[in-house]
Amino acid sequence: MQMKFGVITFPGSNCDQDMIYVLETIMGQEVEKLWHKDHDLKGCEFIVLPGGFSYGDYLRSGAIAQFSPIMKEVIEFAKNGGYVFGVCNGFQILCEAGLLPGTLQHNNNRQFICKNVYLKTESSNSLITRSITEGSVLKIPIAHGEGNYFDKPEAIQKLEDNDQVLFRYSTQDGEVNDAANPNGAVNNIAGICNEQRNVFGMMPHPERASDADLGNEDGRAIFESILSEVLA
């Protein structure tokens, strides 16, 4: 049984093919390649905004991509309960488009960071984490210059109270502390969902940790969680 995924390519996307490979080849799903100028989601049941540097990250990461024609369809799709998942630049775009709260600022060291990090699974109450044991730790790579999640204190508190924080940067043992925070994100936040729990965003790249040939399959748990729930 298959689910139809749509992966959107924006000018400057560079992780779209990685995402397509994992969904199609590793997970065995149907994938539709969507272009940012499209006005039709082509019957896709799950939309993915992949990583990269859309429009060269001019103004702010994701600030221009939010106005791409296809985003009108994505916003309508999400408002009607459709599943949308943004990774890295995709997360930034979803925040800029208002589908997820908060914003992604420059890393606190003002440097681009590319390395493996550890993520503590904070909540199993979401489509992308439902099959992952709460409290378990995943090793997933990051590659970003603007991954420092920020919002007003009252908005952060609302996220926490509503169980919308899905992943936090942690140590290998699951300890959440400043030393494990690679970019200065408030409360070590690495991934969240919206209040309706159908829009998801995370800075780390699970598609880069889903193939045995790469020596790390921790990210595959996220894709397996999506499929086990939707195709059950």
Catalytic annotation present for 36: no
Cβ contact 223:22 at 8 Å: yes
Catalytic annotation present for 205: yes
Name the active-site residue from 73, 96, 146, 207: 207
Catalytic annotation present for 88: yes
Q: List the one residue out of 142, 125, 138 whose CA is nearest residue 194.
A: 125
Q: List the one residue out of 92, 104, 102 whose CA is nearest residue 153.
A: 102
Per the DSSP assignment, residues forming a β-bridge with 196 are none
Name the active-site residue from 15, 88, 95, 193: 88
Provide the 3-class DSSP secondary structure of residue 29: coil
Separation of CA 71 from chain center: 16
Residue 63 sits at the vertex; the CA angle it makes with 57 and 66, to the nearest 5 degrees, is 120
Cβ contact 207:19 at 8 Å: yes
Cβ contact 141:221 at 8 Å: no
Catalytic center residues: 88, 205, 207
